[in-house]
Amino acid sequence: MTSPVLLRFAPSPTGPLHLGGLRTALVNHIHARKLGGKWLLRIEDTDAARAVPGSVEGIREGLAWAGLDYDYGPGKAGPHGPYFQSQRLDLYHFYAKKLLDTGHAYRCFCTADELQSTRERLARSGLNQTYDKKCLNLTEEEVARRVKAGEKSIVRLNDSMPPRRTSPPDLIFGHLRDAHASLPTDPVLLKSDLFPTYHLASVVDDHEMGITHVLRGEEWLPSVPLHLDLYASFNFEPPQFAHLPILLNPDGSKMSKRKGDVRVVDFIERGWEPQAVVNWLALAGWGVHDHSHSHSHSSEASSSNSDSDSSSASSSKQTAAPDSTTVMSLPEIIQHFDLSAVTHRRSVLDPTKLEYLNKHHLMRDFSSEEGLQAFAERMQPDIKAAYPDSDSTSIPYLKKVILALQGRLMTAPDLLTTAPYFFQPPSYTSPESQALVTAIPSHEIYLQALQPTLERLRAIPSQEWEAYDVASVLHEENKKTGLKSKVYMTVMRHALSGMKSGPSVPEIMKVLGQEKTLARLEDAASRVGEWYPEES
């Protein structure tokens, strides 16, 4: 019987959740759901020195914001708990002892200073070793005596023990070159403080928890040979591995804090839509479908020194993956996702794509009555806070504003700043407003455009305003003035908004309503003299 699909996201609580971590969690979520399986959140907190308080909360908040609901983990009890490695120490001791008993591991009593000078000596003599295995051949009696005497020790893997075997291909990177040579000599499994190293804890937990697929960042690829040695030493069946390529900035540099936002909390604070960020991350590296690495090929004989460049499988069947800016919700992503279509090549995470996706996710939301209502309700408190004196913050009004501005809103907070004239009278003193006035030749022309239109609009019965063809009125009145439509419309736009761009003038009028439209035009008519002081 095959075991049920179970994946894990296993962050170390060493600081805020970064985009790279969110992307790893996301792909775990997608792949688990795709396979009809589950995933858990495991906190790898065995390195107390690197722990940062609040990290776990930050990770959980980031996952919840993105809509990535793990099935088991902190706050969600399950059969594999506890989900904090610091609460599983007995388990690591049990397994370390197993390896000691079978000779797959041994105790090392060398002090930190001794180890340091050994490492230097080996390096000087040009040997590709980091430890001289001095403690490997201590007799059982001696080990027992030194342990009894309270001497501190660590547990090391005896790396000459595990049977060398062919490695299963990585689901993304394909067959990998044997990287044993780059591993430390007899890697440490248990530290002298009795905490496990990442490697021991990770392998023990993945096995104990029944993880079927280990999906994590490319930076862990070099650890795979050691993990496979551990699986072999325990006689455990290894899970399937899939490593996600490193994400790059558009200039090709590695994503890092110094180059702008990488913390998920920054994206939350800037008001990006979670589904847009999820869409953006999912599409990074989602290349073309490449059947050469699909599960069905895992039985292929692997040669341990084959080239790691899986792209060389050019003859394999390929089907199109989505375009790098396809707007998809998480359920749609899950439906279309295919891990074998993820490239092993480093992928650029381009912020301009996020802008595009965010805007289009918003527009998608606005296209349904429900989505529009929800967005208006979500934004109302912020609008009220930003415009405390405004009498234009009702939900029905906000919905009209949102529809008029859609396509101009890149992020939700843009609603607060893109068109302030929908919430308060226009500012005629802003530099933008003043610059607009200079595009209108004179005070007289301003009034020539404004006044007859004002009369026409005033004559529209108020109950007809909503459905009235205001655009035609403006067109006709413009014609009568003989002014260029650019000048005429600039007058109208200036009087209504004080800004140089925005929705069309009739649209602005419709949103504002008749009363406010007339009030603004009247106000402008009475103040126009102030804007052309040199004429008076």
Binding site for ligand GLU (CB under 6 A): 10-12, 44, 202, 216, 220
Give the torsion through C-alpha atoms of 361, 365, 366, 367, to 10 deg.
100
Q: Which of 331, 280, 255 is nearest to 68 (CA)?
A: 331
Q: How far apart are CA 62 and CA 74, in angstroms?
A: 14
Q: Which residue has the tokens 């003859």?
A: 315
Q: Which is nearer to ligand GLU, 12 or 393 (CB)?
A: 12
Contact yes or no for 178/225 (Cβ under 8 A): yes
CB closer to ligand GLU, 220 vs 446: 220
Specify the residue, 203 or 354, whose C-beta has the smaller distance to ligand GLU: 203
Nearer to ligand GLU, 156 or 216 (CB): 216
- DSSP conformation letters of 103-119: TSEEEE---HHHHHHHH
Q: How far is the CB of 187 from ligand GLU (least distance, A)?
A: 15
Cα gap 329→275, rounded to integer Å: 6
DSSP string for residues in 16-53: SPBHHHHHHHHHHHHHHHHTT-EEEE-B----GGG--T
Residue 390 backbone class (left: φ over 0; alpha: ψ -120 to 50; beta: rest): beta
Write out the H or E segment, with its range, that includes residue 348: strand 347-348
Which one, 198 or 532, has the nearer CB to ligand GLU?
198
The smaller minimum CB distance to ligand GLU, of residues 12 and 478, is found at 12
CA 284 to chain centre: 10
- Helix orientation angle between 351-366 and 274-283, rounded to the nearest 10 degrees: 130
- Active-site residue numbers? 257
Burial (CB < 10 A; 0-12, 13-18, 19+), residue 338, is middle
What SS3 state is found at 254?
strand
Q: Which is nearer to ligand GLU, 31 or 493 (CB)?
A: 31
Spatial distance between the Cα atoms of 478 and 199, rounded to a whole number of angstroms: 76
* C-beta of 12 vs 185, nearer to ligand GLU: 12
Closer to ligand GLU by CB, 50 or 270: give it: 50
- Select 12 or 392, whichever has its Cβ closest to ligand GLU: 12
Q: Kindly give, in sequence order, each residue whose CB lies less than 8 Å from that of residue 483, ignoring residues fewer than 6 positions away.
A: 445, 448, 449
218 is written with which tokens?
């490319």
Place of tokens 């403006």: 474
Relative orientation angle of helices 89-102 and 198-208, to the nearest 10 degrees: 100
Residue 248 in contact with residue 348, Cβ under 8 Å?
A: yes
Q: What does DSSP say about strands 188-190 and 154-157: parallel, antiparallel, or unpaired?
A: antiparallel
Structural tokens at position 456: 């026409």
Cis omega (within 30 of 0) for bond into 82: yes
498's tokens: 């004080």
For 218, how many CA atoms within 13 A lie in the half-sphere containing its CB?
Answer: 19
Distance, in Å, from the CA atom of 384 to the CA atom of 390, rounded to the nearest integer, reads: 7
